[in-house]
């Protein structure tokens, strides 16, 4: 009989969002007339920008004629898309990233998990707490942790608390770690890191020969001028950091699937003999073997994000969700509910009222107001007592949800 990967048995219950969907499904079944507004998973709701639709339609036409038909594309992504990313996302910010250091993929979630394929088993790994659960769960699956305790903390991981007490500025690890996951603008707290903060991380990674895995999936939501959009804005980061970006939250690609990972050629790890190995080469090998690239049609759509019209339309989408976030923040403030984020991120992070646990507040919001959010404890032990509201929804639903919070919630 085939044996299984026993590490999967260490995972806590379900992955957070399917678990929420399960609970909401049960509530909906028991209350078929309830009109439920979902502000849980950060999934976009607004249609794709017209410039992207047009480019994808044209790409479909390309596929309809032999001279312009495309079969397998390059596993790393088409050069014309990678060039645009380097020219528009990195060069203007002074980041020394070239097109051949960029890999196109079908999602940052996949890439932040898959990257473990090229890393060894004995790394000491630091994560923020709360944290996007994918970073932790994929390490559990890979056998990089021990068991979880009752609060959901896995033995072997170094947790860096990120709470109101430290202004959502996690401390540097108090020991030497090899791998550090950072996400800015932060999911779930909506916090950002200043240039000085990121410089400290780069300095730590350089001094400790550590690798930073930097998730910048929400960079388009940065509104404050002095907040860095990329870790490569920090000198030396191109020797110690891999960056993940996505078209999901800016261009609305959650259902289309396109993202990118930057593995600069100067980033290295060590093999079992202590010899330095270039991670770019390993990631290229990994992707060429296990991935056949993102479809031509989707990459043409992503390319249109860099046209003048595409850029304007994407900015309008981002502004739309940020305006939703403002409505949420103002409502919570008017009710005296302390909250964070929502200025440079599509997420609002709040203290649960009346000292309720995160899941108790989840249930209360669902049963009293028929609104779904995300319990902070689902992102880690230090998220207990917090709750996340996503600004991804129609204006009508956001307004209706806030009205319900004002009038139906018994606090």
User: Which residues of the chain form contacts with ligand MLT (CB under 6 A)?
Assistant: 41-43, 109, 132, 187
In the complex, least distance from residue 255 CB atom to ligand MLT, rounded to whole angstroms: 12
For residue 296 the two structure tokens come to 């031509």
Least CB distance from residue 27 to ligand MLT, whole Å? 19
Q: What are phi and psi of 335, to 5 degrees?
A: -95, 5
Instruction: With beta carbons less than 8 A apart as the criterion, state whether 153 and 15 touch.
Output: no
Pick the closer one to ligand MLT by CB: 41 or 142: 41
Among 146, 179, 157, smallest CA distance to 10 is for 146
Q: How far is CA 71 from CA 62, 292, 332, in A?
A: 11, 10, 51
**Which of 288, 259, 306 has its CA nearest to residue 108?**
259
Least distance between ligand MLT and beta carbon 226 (Å): 26
Question: Shortest Cβ distance from residue 336 to ligand MLT (Å)?
Answer: 26
Of 186 and 287, CB closest to ligand MLT = 186
CB of 25 to ligand MLT, least distance (A): 17
Considering the complex, state which of residue 14 and residue 94 has its C-beta at the smaller distance from ligand MLT. 14
Rounded to whole angstroms, the Cα distance separating 253 from 260 reads: 12
When the beta carbons of 123 and 374 are compared against ligand MLT, the nearer one is 374
User: Closest approach of Cβ 277 to ligand MLT, in Å?
Assistant: 30
- For residue 379, what is the DSSP state? G
| 23 vs 109 by CB, closer to ligand MLT | 109
Tell me which residue has its CB nearest to ligand MLT: 42
CB of 43 to ligand MLT, least distance (A): 6
Q: Cα 92 vs. chain centroid, distance in angstroms? A: 23
Query: 123 or 139, CB closer to ligand MLT?
Result: 139
Quote the tokens at residue 93: 């910010």
**Toward ligand MLT, which CB reaches closer, 42 or 77?**
42
Least gap, CB of 324 to ligand MLT (angstroms) = 15
Please tell me the distance from the alpha carbon of residue 299 to that of residue 253, in angstroms, as a whole number.
11
Distance CA 263, CA 240 (A): 10
215 three-class SS: strand
Closest CB to ligand MLT among residues 264, 378:
378
State which residue, 42 or 385, has the beta carbon closest to ligand MLT.
42
The CA-atom distances, in angstroms, between 248 and each of 271, 355, 358, 368, 392 are 34, 34, 27, 31, 12
The residue assigned the tokens 């990674």 is 205
Backbone angles phi, psi at 212, to 5 degrees: -100, 130
Cis status, amide bond into 378, omega within 30 of 0: no
DSSP assignment of 122-168: T--EEEEES--HHHHHHHHHTT-S--B-TTSPBTTEEEEE-SGGGTT
The CB-of-216 to ligand MLT minimum distance in angstroms stands at: 13
């Amino acid at each position: 009989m085939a044996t299984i990967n026993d590490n999967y048995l260490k995972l806590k219950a379900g992955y957070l969002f399917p678990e929420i969907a399960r609970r909401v499904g049960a509530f909906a079944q028991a209350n078929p007339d309830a009109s439920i507004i979902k502000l849980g998973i950060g999934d976009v709701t607004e249609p794709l920008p017209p410039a992207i639709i047009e480019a994808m339609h044209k790409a479909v036409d390309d596929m309809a004629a032999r001279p312009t038909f495309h079969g397998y594309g390059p596993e790393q992504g088409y050069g014309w898309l990678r060039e645009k990313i380097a020219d528009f996302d990195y060069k203007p910010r002074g980041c020394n990233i070239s097109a051949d250091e960029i890999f196109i993929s079908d999602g940052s979630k996949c890439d932040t998990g898959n990257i473990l394929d090229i890393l060894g088993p004995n790394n000491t790994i630091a994560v923020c707490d709360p944290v996007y659960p994918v970073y932790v769960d994929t390490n559990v699956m890979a056998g990089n942790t021990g068991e979880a305790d009752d609060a959901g903390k896995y033995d072997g991981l170094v947790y860096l608390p990120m709470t109101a007490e430290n202004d959502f500025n996690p401390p540097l690890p108090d020991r030497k770690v090899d791998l550090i996951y950072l996400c800015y603008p932060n999911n779930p707290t909506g916090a950002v890191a200043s240039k000085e903060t990121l410089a400290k991380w780069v300095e730590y990674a350089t001094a400790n020969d550590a690798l930073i895995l930097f998730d910048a999936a929400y960079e388009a939501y940065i509104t404050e001028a002095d907040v860095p959009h990329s870790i490569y804005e920090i000198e030396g980061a191109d020797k110690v950091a891999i960056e993940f970006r996505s078209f999901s939250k800016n261009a609305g690609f959650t259902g289309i699937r396109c993202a990118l990972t930057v593995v600069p050629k100067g980033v290295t790890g060590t093999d079992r003999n202590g010899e330095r190995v270039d991670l770019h080469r390993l990631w290229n090998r990994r992707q060429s073997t296990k991935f056949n690239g993102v479809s031509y049609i989707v990459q043409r759509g992503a390319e249109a994000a860099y046209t003048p019209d595409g850029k304007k339309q994407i900015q309008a989408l981002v502004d739309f969700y940020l305006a939703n976030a403002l409505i949420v923040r103002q409502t919570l403030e008017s009710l005296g509910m302390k909250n964070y984020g929502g200025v440079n991120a599509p997420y609002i992070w709040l203290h649960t009222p009346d000292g309720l646990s995160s899941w108790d507040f989840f249930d209360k919001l669902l049963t009293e107001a028929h609104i779904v959010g995300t319990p902070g404890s689902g992102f880690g032990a230090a998220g207990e007592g917090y709750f996340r509201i996503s600004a991804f929804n129609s204006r009508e639903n956001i307004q209706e949800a806030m009205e319900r919070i004002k009038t139906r919630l018994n606090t």
